[in-house]
Amino acid sequence: MSNNQSEEAQKREIRNRRHFSFRLNVFFFITFFVFSILIVRLAYLQFVEGDNLRAKEHEIATRPVAVPPIRGNIYDSEGVALAYSTSTQSLYFTFDTKMTEEKGLALAERLVEVFDRLGQKTAKPLTAKEVLADMDLKGKVYFSYQPRRIKSGLTKEEIAFFSEHKKEFPGMDVVEESIRQYNKEKVAVQLVGYMKKMSGAASLEKYKDINKDNTDKTLEYLKSEEVGFDGLEYMFQDELRGLNGIKEYPVNNQSEIIGPMKLTKPVKGENIYLTINKDIQLDTQRAITEHLAKIRSSTNKQESAKNAKTGYAVAMEVKTGKVVAMASMPDYDPEVWQGGISSEDLDSIKYYMSNGAIRDVQPPYNDDKERMKHPSSLVNLGSTQKPLTILLGLNEKLITTQSEFIDPGYFAFGREGHETRVRNASSAANGKLKPATAIAKSSNAFMASMVGNRLYMRDGTQGVDIWDSYMKQFGLGVTTGSGLPHESSGSINYFKEVKNGSAQSALIYASFGQQARYSVLQLAQYASTLASHGQRMRPQFINKIVDSDGKIIQSFQSEILNTVSFPEAYWNTIETGMSQVRVQGFEDFKYNFYRKTGTSEQDVGGGRVENAVFIAYAPAENPTLAVAVVVPEGGYGGWGAAPIARKIFDSYDEYVGLNGTPQKKEVTAPPVNGAADGVPDGQAADQQ
């Protein structure tokens, strides 16, 4: 019995040893497997994920703060700064999270004492309470590691003091910042444009999601930075902006700064050189302002225009498309935007801040009912349409260069007994006319009968499409291609007239310029196309873009948008007529030139107004400059707009030269009684 028990015990011991050995092997196998996984994982983390993890570690351990870039400058064609960024020294505060409000107030009081003693004297000096609020000790506005701006525009004495007493003002740093300045003479204000804080510019599509998916801190737009909101400031925002600088602060897990800051300096934006000549631009602005004042107070019936409050002009080189002057008057001081604009300032400039030379801008009347009685910046062409009407008629074989028409002073169309009469100015009966003399005499009846009505009689409703195609080839009814933001293509009414009236009335009224409203830039491009005999140039505003070292990044070349081919005899016909147009202000002009006046009638608010329109190009033998002028409610184009153009030609001749050489300005006596080209005083030189 005892032997059996001993044998059973031995067997049990052997089984236990076997089980133990098995469990031990399983343990070692599991341990080996786990360690193998750990080794593989560590190898993966080190060799595959190492770079990403090191970057993540750096990101957690530091807090990058973007520093706004230094914006590039905008210069005129001669290198005169029109918009530029100047440096100012500002005081910033980065605080210790353990600072109490009591200590913060004590620091603020010490700062105010320095400001009052060494800073510029202002009508409203900073108070300790305001400084404490700017310090934002509770982090309501900023994260703890973000510097707070306490004061801008430090004096040299303040800068020196804070540099020498840095230890006494913990967390205080003097930082150089960029502030946008504009030429004090207010040169081409609406063209240059203006800027707004990024936080207020989000209404524009360009800025809505500009930081989306952006991981590059140098390209990140900051809420506090200023961005282009209109004009060239907006159009060339990307080129002008530059790149952010980066401040990196080492922090602990409590976001407390634990080491020195590392700075990557901002990269200055590129500089833009315009085609605008400052001197010609200022002369253009002055010419409009002075002439508006003159015609508002004039006692001459032909010149008087009591409601003429605004004026627009563009001067464009015929061969290059370069715009040397673009004026939308009155203008305003763009520096009202610096530091945020007040509601009072905004109300005072709201009718002048948009560029009426390229888009529809409302007249400057605060009363809504009164404003509806006056025209905007887009006006009908009036008789400046007639050279193109004759070209169309010739090219469509509706007339020849020698076609004759007996002008009784009107043209009647419509059903017998219900005719509508289109009249000349003052119902003047011009007698026998040919196409050239029809332009010179500005005959509405000729245009209506010989071109508008004939086009309808031949092509019916399709005649309106034919008319529209010619307009667009000369830049009327399409944008000019300038690329300027918010540019208008004009307001075309002849298609509406087809629906509301008839195709016949649409073509007849369009033939003498009463069926579409356009901008003065479109008129300048149209005049330039006439001058070049069919080459429609893209209006060019930029000569070149250079970097901060002066290296040319991009240069701009002349560009022909489209070419219109007509026999030379057709061009000669219209220019023969344009050379005979009577006009004020050019009595002693030493160059031969081609011109056309226009008095565009417009129904506004239940009444009818007359807008002064004028186009011209010179010299006639080799056209260099095309000029267009529009004065809403300016009356006759020969009186209300032409004298402005004369001053623009004179300015260009003085600074650039209509013959290629700048001419010294000559002082001449004014004409007696305002007579022009043998026209007696008090008689309209050209009422259309």
Cβ burial 28-57 (10 Å sphere, 16+ → b, else e): eeeeeeeeeeeeeeeeeeeeeeeeeeeeee
On whether residue 154 sits in a domain, the answer given is yes
Could you read off the pLDDT of 176-194 as tens digits, one per residue? 767 788 999 999 999 999 9
Question: Does residue 540 contact residue 321 with C-beta atoms inside 8 Å?
Answer: yes
Q: How far apart are CA 646 and CA 651, in angstroms?
A: 9
Q: Is the pLDDT of residue 574 over 80?
A: yes
Q: Is the pLDDT of residue 609 over 90?
A: yes
- Helices 568-578, 386-395: axis angle to 10 degrees equals 150
Could you read off the pLDDT of 15-33 as tens digits, one per residue? 777 777 777 777 777 877 7
Q: What's the chain's Rg over C-alpha atoms?
A: 37
* Whether residues 293 and 269 fall in one domain: no
The pLDDT of residue 50 is: 63
Structure tokens given for 662:
């700048």
Q: How far apart are CA 396 and CA 64, in angstroms?
A: 69
According to DSSP, the β-strands at 516-518 and 491-492 are: antiparallel
How many domains are there within the chain? 3
DSSP, collapsed to helix, strand or coil, labels residue 85 as strand
Residue 84, strand partner residues: 181
On whether residue 197 sits in a domain, the answer given is yes
Cβ burial 159-193 (10 Å sphere, 16+ → b, else e): eebbeeeeeebebbebeebbbbbbbeebbbbbbbb
The pLDDT of residue 635 is: 96
Q: How far apart are CA 412 and CA 424, in angstroms?
A: 12
Which residues does 547 contact at the CB level (< 8 Å), separation at least 6? 270, 271, 553
Q: How many other β-carbons are positioned within 10 Å of the β-carbon of residue 381?
A: 30
Domain that holds residue 32: 2-48
* Whether residues 161 and 16 fall in one domain: no
> What is the largest distance, in Å, between two alpha-carbon atoms of the chain?
158
Q: What is the mean pLDDT of residues 533-539?
A: 98
Give the model's confidence band at 336: pLDDT under 50 very low, under 70 low, under 90 confident, else very high: confident
* Whether residues 576 and 624 fall in one domain: yes
Give the model's confidence band at 315: pLDDT under 50 very low, under 70 low, under 90 confident, else very high: very high
On whether residue 383 sits in a domain, the answer given is yes
Residue 212 is given by DSSP the state T
* Whether residues 285 and 264 fall in one domain: no
Q: Is the pLDDT of residue 688 over 50?
A: no
Q: Indicate the residue among 274, 289, 317 that finishes a domain.
A: 274
Q: How far apart are CA 331 and CA 364, in angstroms?
A: 11
CATH of the domain at 70: 3.90.1310.10
* Whether residues 461 and 532 fall in one domain: yes
On whether residue 10 sits in a domain, the answer given is yes
The pLDDT of residue 684 is: 36
Give 461 or 166, the one with higher predicted confidence: 461
* Whether residues 475 and 512 fall in one domain: yes
Give 681 or 58, the one with higher predicted confidence: 58
* Whether residues 567 and 612 fall in one domain: yes
On whether residue 18 sits in a domain, the answer given is yes
Q: How far apart are CA 226 and CA 232, in angstroms?
A: 14
The pLDDT of residue 351 is: 93
Give the model's confidence band at 196: pLDDT under 50 very low, under 70 low, under 90 confident, else very high: confident
What does pLDDT average to over the chain? 88
- Range of 144-148, 253-257, 391-395, 670-674 with top mean pLDDT: 391-395
Give the model's confidence band at 246: pLDDT under 50 very low, under 70 low, under 90 confident, else very high: confident
Q: Is the pLDDT of residue 229 over 60?
A: yes
Residue among 545, 628, 68, 686 at smallest CA distance from 311: 628
Could you read off the pLDDT of 344-400 as tens digits, one per residue? 788 889 999 999 999 999 999 999 999 999 999 999 999 999 999 999 999 999 999
| pTM score of the predicted model | 0.80
Q: Is the pLDDT of residue 631 over 80?
A: yes
Residue 351 is given by DSSP the state T
Please report where in the chains the tokens 């150089």 appear, as a residue.
176
Length of the chain: 688
* Whether residues 461 and 542 fall in one domain: yes
* Whether residues 181 and 304 fall in one domain: no
Please report where in the chains the tokens 């000019």 appear, as a residue.
480
Could you read off the pLDDT of 48-71 as tens digits, one per residue? 666 665 555 555 567 777 777 889
* Whether residues 390 and 504 fall in one domain: yes
In degrees and rounded to multiples of 5, residue 536 shows phi and psi of -90, 110
Q: Is the pLDDT of residue 677 over 50?
A: no
% of the chain beyond a pLDDT of 70: 90
* Whether residues 442 and 298 fall in one domain: yes
On whether residue 364 sits in a domain, the answer given is yes
* Whether residues 183 and 311 fall in one domain: no
Q: Indicate the residue among 233, 259, 274 that finishes a domain.
A: 274
- Rounded to 10 degrees, the C-alpha dihedral 12/16/18/24 comes to 180
On whether residue 22 sits in a domain, the answer given is yes
CATH of the domain at 462: 3.40.710.10
